[in-house]
C-alpha cells in the first residue's frame, strides 16, 4: 500500500514539474523576443505610431496613405515566420481580473506571449470573457503586448454570436450578460424584417467594438432544409430568398457601408451551405461528415452566399462536411479546390478572406497525447503537413483553431509551395487589419465601456425581437373565448418549466395542478442526448424530433388536467402533433426570456411571428424528406409563414 501511495505522489510531482516547465519555458522564450512599446512620431504636427520603433515614419505607419500601399510596404518587411503566424486563428482565454492568462499546456493551448512572440499569431477567437470593462482592460493589455513585437502588428479579435437571450442559446452562441439580449437568428427570420436585421448588426458591431472585438464569426446563412440538423437556430430558416435578404442586411449592419474603426468584419458561414447534412447529423462529428444532395439541389444553397458577397462580406468560412458526389474528389470543403477556388473565387467573384472552420489539420492534445482527431474528412490519410498544403492549394487563407505556423514555414522552405502564394493570403489579412483601423489605434476607451454596452435603445430592441419572433400556433376556444391572452392577476397558475418568480408577477402560482385555473407547461424541444456531445458538453441537439412515448404521456397527462398552454423554444422543427391537439394554446419561441413569453401569454404584446420553417406532422415524413430540398415534408402540421395573432378570427 505504501509503495502504491509513494508511486502516486511521485507521479503527481512529475506531472506538476512537467506542467510548470511546460508553462514557463514558452513564456521565457517569448519574453526574450519582446521589444519596447511603440513610440510616437510627429510629422507636420500629425501624430503617427512608430510601430517598428525605428524613429522613422514608414509607409505602413502613415495613415494618410492608401491601404494598398501600406499593405505592400508592411508585407515587404515581414519574415516568412511572421506571414505564417498571420495565417493562424485560434482561441484565447482571459486571466483573472483582466490579467493576461498563463498557458494551459496540458490541453496544448498557448499563452498569449507564446502565441504572439514564438508563433507570431495575430488573430484570436474569444470565447469566455470577463464582465464589461474588464474585457476591455484585458484586450487592451493584449494589444499593448503586441506592440512590443518587431513590427508592432496589432491583434484582431473574433467572436461567435454573443447576443443570445438564454444561458443555453444557439449552438456555439455565448450568453454575455453585459450585452443586449436578442432572439436567435432563426427568431429574426420569424420576424422577417430586414431593417431589424440590419439594426441588430449595428448594435452587435457597437457592443463588440466597445470591448475590443473586431470580427463576427457570423452570420450563418446555411439553409435549414434538413429539419434534424442541430444548428438550425443559428440560421435564418428554410427559405432561400428570406435568408439571402436577412443575411445581407445583417452583414451591412455589422460592416456599415465600408469597414472602419467603428465597424466589425463579418465572417459569413458555412460555404457552400451546411444545411443538407446526411440524416441531419452535424459535421463536427465523424458520423456527420457527409452532406447529401438526393434532390440534386446543390446550387440552391448558394443563393444566400451570393447575396452575402454582394453585400460585401469580408470573410467566408467553409464547413467541415464532404459534398458527396458533387465534386471530382469527395473531400471536405476546406480541402476542396473545386469549391473554394473554382466555385467561390472564380465563378462567384469572391476575393475576400477564406478561413477554415476550427481544427481541420492537427489533433488536439491532452498531456501530450492525442485526445481528439481533426475534422480532416476525406483526407484522414494525409499527414498534418500534407493537409496544410492541400488546404492552401484549395484556396484557404487562414486556419481556424490551429497554432502550427511552422508547418507553412516548412512547406515554403522545402519548395512545396511558393512564398508568393503565402503573400496572397497575407495581403488579404493585412488589408482587413488596416481597414478596421487597428494599425492606427487598436485600443478601446475603458472608461466608456459601460455607457456603450446594453444601452436603453439596444435593450429595448433586443426585447422587442424576443416578443416579435414568438409564434402562436394554436389558440382554442375555452368557454366561448380563445384560451389566450390570459387575464393578468386573476388566475391561479400551475407553472412547470418557467421561472416561478416570473410567473408570480402575472397570477397566483400554486403547487398542485388540480388547484390551478390554468396550466402553463414549458418543455425543451425533443432531441437525443447521446448525440451532439463534444468532451461531455451537449454542443448540439441532434437525432429525434419527437418526444418519447414516456415524455409525451407525461406532457399529455398534464395538458388534459385543466385548460393548458404549451410553450417551447424551437431550436429545430419539433413534432408537436399530439400536443397541438390537446393543449388549449401552443406558443413557440426562437430565443426569449420567460418575461417575454409571459408578456405574450398575458396580452401585453400581440404575437406576430411567423414560422421560419415547416413543422413536421410525423417522424415518418421527416425520414422521407430529402436533406437538400426545402419544404419537402409530407403533410406538415404547420407550414412556413404560419402564425396567429390575437386579432385573427382563428384566434378569437
pLDDT of 97 reads 74
pLDDT reading at 35 higher than 80: yes
> Has residue 583 got a pLDDT over 50?
yes
Give 466-526 as a 3 state SS string.
Answer: HHHCCEEEEECEECCEECCCCCCCCCEEEEECCCHHHHCCCCEECCCHHHCCEEEEECCCC
Residue labelled with grid coordinates 518587431: 150
Mean pLDDT within 636-649: 93
What is the rounded average pLDDT of the residues 532-542? 81
Residue among 221, 207, 203, 237 nearest 317 (CA): 221
The model's confidence at residue 167, banded by pLDDT at 50, 70 and 90, is low
- Under the banding of pLDDT at 50, 70 and 90, the label for residue 109 is low
C-alpha closest to that of 270 among 239, 297, 235, 244: 235
The answer to pTM > 0.75 is yes
Is the model's pLDDT at 23 over the cut of 60? no
C-alpha cell at 512: 398542485
What is the reported pLDDT for 26?
62
Which position has the higher pLDDT, 32 or 84? 84
Confidence label for 40 from pLDDT (cuts 50, 70 and 90) = very high
Mean pLDDT of all residues in 187-206: 98
10 or 199: which carries more pLDDT confidence? 199
Percent over 70 (pLDDT), the chain: 92
Contact 109, 183 (CB under 8 A): no
Q: Is residue 408 within 8 Å of 388, Cβ to Cβ?
A: yes
E strand or H helix at 246? helix 240-255
| Mean model confidence pLDDT for the chain | 92
> Residue 291: its pLDDT value, please?
97
The predicted pLDDT at position 27 comes to 62
Amino acid 372: pLDDT? 78
CA distance 529 to 369: 27
Question: In the predicted model, what is the mean pLDDT of residues 8-13?
Answer: 49
458-651 to CATH, choices 3.40.50.150, 1.10.10.10, 2.30.40.10, 3.40.50.1700: 3.40.50.1700
Is the per-residue pLDDT at 175 higher than 80? Answer: yes
pLDDT above 90 coverage of the chain, percent: 82
Q: Cα–Cα distance between 79 and 85 in angstroms, integer?
A: 10
Q: How confident is the model at residue 82 (pLDDT cuts 50, 70, 90)?
A: very high
- Which tops the pLDDT comparison, 57 or 533? 57
* Span 203-246, pLDDT tens digits: 999 999 999 999 999 999 999 999 999 999 999 999 999 999 99
Instruction: Please tell me the predicted confidence (pLDDT) of residue 107.
Output: 46
Task: Give catalytic residues, as residue numbers.
Answer: 357
pLDDT tens, residue by residue, 238-293: 999 999 999 999 999 999 999 999 999 999 999 999 999 999 999 999 999 999 99
Domain boundaries, the chain: 458-651
pLDDT-derived band at 53 (thresholds 50, 70, 90) equals very high
Length of the chain: 652
Can you read off the three cell numbers belonging to residue 270?
458555412
Mean pLDDT of 292-300: 98
- Note the pLDDT of residue 170: 43
Residue 169 has pLDDT above 80, yes or no: no
pLDDT tier for residue 93 given thresholds of 50, 70 and 90: confident
Query: Once rounded to an integer, what is the mean pLDDT over residues 452-460?
Result: 97
Are 397 and 355 contacting, i.e. CB atoms less than 8 angstroms apart? yes
pLDDT tens string 345-368: 999 999 999 999 999 999 987 656
> Grid coordinates 526574450 are at which residue?
32
Average pLDDT for 628-646: 98
Please name the helix (run of DSSP H) or strand (run of DSSP E) that holds residue 278, with its range, or none. Answer: none
365-421 pLDDT per residue, tens? 765 666 679 999 999 999 999 999 999 999 999 999 999 999 999 999 999 999 999
DSSP string, 118-181: IS---EEEE-S--SHHHHHHHHHHHHHHHTTSSS-PPPEEEES---BSSSS-STT----TTS--
Amino acid at each position: 500500500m505504501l509503495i502504491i501511495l509513494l508511486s502516486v505522489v511521485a507521479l503527481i510531482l512529475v506531472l506538476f514539474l512537467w506542467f510548470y516547465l511546460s508553462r514557463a519555458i514558452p513564456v521565457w522564450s517569448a519574453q526574450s523576443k519582446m521589444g519596447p512599446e511603440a513610440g510616437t512620431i510627429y510629422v507636420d504636427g500629425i501624430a503617427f505610431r512608430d510601430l517598428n520603433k525605428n524613429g522613422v515614419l514608414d509607409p505602413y505607419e502613415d495613415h494618410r496613405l492608401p491601404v494598398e500601399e501600406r499593405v505592400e510596404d508592411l508585407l515587404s518587411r515581414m519574415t516568412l515566420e511572421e506571414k505564417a503566424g498571420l495565417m493562424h486563428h485560434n482561441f484565447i482565454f482571459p486571466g483573472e481580473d483582466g490579467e493576461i492568462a498563463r498557458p494551459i499546456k496540458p490541453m496544448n493551448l498557448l499563452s498569449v506571449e507564446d502565441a504572439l512572440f514564438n508563433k507570431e499569431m495575430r488573430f484570436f477567437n474569444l470565447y469566455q470573457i470577463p464582465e464589461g470593462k474588464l474585457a476591455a482592460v484585458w484586450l487592451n493589455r493584449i494589444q499593448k503586448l503586441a506592440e512590443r513585437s518587431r513590427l508592432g502588428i496589432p491583434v484582431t479579435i473574433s467572436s461567435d454570436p454573443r447576443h443570445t437571450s438564454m444561458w443555453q442559446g444557439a449552438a456555439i452562441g455565448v450568453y454575455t450578460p453585459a450585452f443586449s439580449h436578442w432572439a436567435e437568428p432563426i427568431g429574426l427570420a420569424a420576424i422577417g424584417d430586414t431593417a431589424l436585421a440590419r439594426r441588430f448588426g449595428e448594435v452587435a458591431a457597437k457592443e463588440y467594438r466597445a470591448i475590443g472585438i473586431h470580427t463576427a464569426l457570423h452570420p450563418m446563412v446555411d439553409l435549414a432544409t434538413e429539419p434534424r440538423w442541430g444548428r438550425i437556430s443559428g440560421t435564418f430558416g428554410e427559405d432561400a430568398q428570406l435568408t439571402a435578404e436577412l443575411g445581407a442586411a445583417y452583414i451591412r449592419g455589422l460592416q456599415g457601408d465600408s469597414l472602419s474603426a467603428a465597424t466589425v468584419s463579418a465572417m459569413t458561414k458555412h460555404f457552400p451551405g451546411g444545411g443538407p447534412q446526411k440524416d441531419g447529423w452535424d459535421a463536427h462529428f465523424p458520423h456527420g461528415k457527409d452532406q447529401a444532395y438526393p434532390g440534386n439541389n446543390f446550387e440552391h444553397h448558394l443563393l444566400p452566399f451570393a447575396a452575402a458577397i454582394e453585400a460585401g462580406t469580408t470573410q467566408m468560412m467553409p464547413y467541415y462536411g464532404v459534398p458527396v458526389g458533387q465534386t471530382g474528389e469527395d473531400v471536405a470543403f476546406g480541402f476542396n479546390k473545386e469549391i473554394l477556388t473554382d466555385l467561390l473565387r472564380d465563378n462567384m467573384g469572391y476575393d475576400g478572406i477564406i478561413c477554415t472552420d476550427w481544427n481541420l489539420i492537427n489533433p488536439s492534445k491532452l498531456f501530450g497525447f492525442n485526445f481528439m482527431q481533426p475534422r480532416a474528412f476525406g483526407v484522414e490519410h494525409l499527414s498534418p503537413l500534407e493537409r496544410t498544403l492541400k488546404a492552401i492549394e484549395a484556396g484557404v487563407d487562414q486556419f481556424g483553431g490551429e497554432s502550427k505556423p511552422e508547418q507553412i514555414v516548412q512547406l515554403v522552405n522545402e519548395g512545396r509551395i511558393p512564398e508568393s502564394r503565402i503573400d496572397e493570403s497575407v495581403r488579404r489579412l493585412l488589408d482587413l487589419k488596416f481597414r478596421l483601423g487597428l494599425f492606427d489605434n487598436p485600443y478601446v476607451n475603458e472608461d466608456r465601456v459601460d455607457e456603450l454596452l446594453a444601452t436603453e435603445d439596444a435593450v429595448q430592441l433586443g426585447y422587442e425581437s424576443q416578443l416579435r419572433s414568438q409564434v402562436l400556433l394554436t389558440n382554442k376556444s375555452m368557454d366561448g373565448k380563445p384560451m389566450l391572452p390570459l387575464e393578468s392577476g386573476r388566475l391561479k397558475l400551475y407553472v412547470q418549466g418557467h421561472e416561478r418568480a416570473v410567473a408570480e408577477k402575472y397570477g397566483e402560482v400554486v403547487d398542485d395542478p388540480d388547484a390551478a385555473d390554468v396550466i402553463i407547461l414549458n418543455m425543451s424541444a425533443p432531441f437525443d442526448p447521446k448525440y451532439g456531445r463534444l468532451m461531455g458538453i451537449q454542443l448540439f441537439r441532434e437525432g429525434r424530433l419527437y418526444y418519447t412515448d414516456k415524455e409525451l404521456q407525461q406532457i399529455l397527462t398534464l395538458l388534459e388536467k385543466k385548460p393548458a398552454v404549451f410553450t417551447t423554444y424551437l431550436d429545430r422543427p419539433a413534432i408537436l402533433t399530439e400536443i397541438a391537439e390537446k393543449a388549449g394554446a401552443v406558443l413557440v419561441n426562437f430565443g426569449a426570456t420567460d418575461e417575454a413569453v409571459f408578456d405574450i401569454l398575458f396580452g401585453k404584446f400581440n404575437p406576430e411571428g411567423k414560422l421560419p420553417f415547416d413543422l413536421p406532422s410525423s417522424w415518418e415524413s421527416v425520414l422521407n424528406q430529402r436533406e437538400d430540398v426545402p419544404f419537402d415534408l409530407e403533410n406538415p402540421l404547420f407550414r412556413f409563414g404560419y402564425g396567429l395573432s390575437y386579432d385573427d378570427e382563428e384566434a378569437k
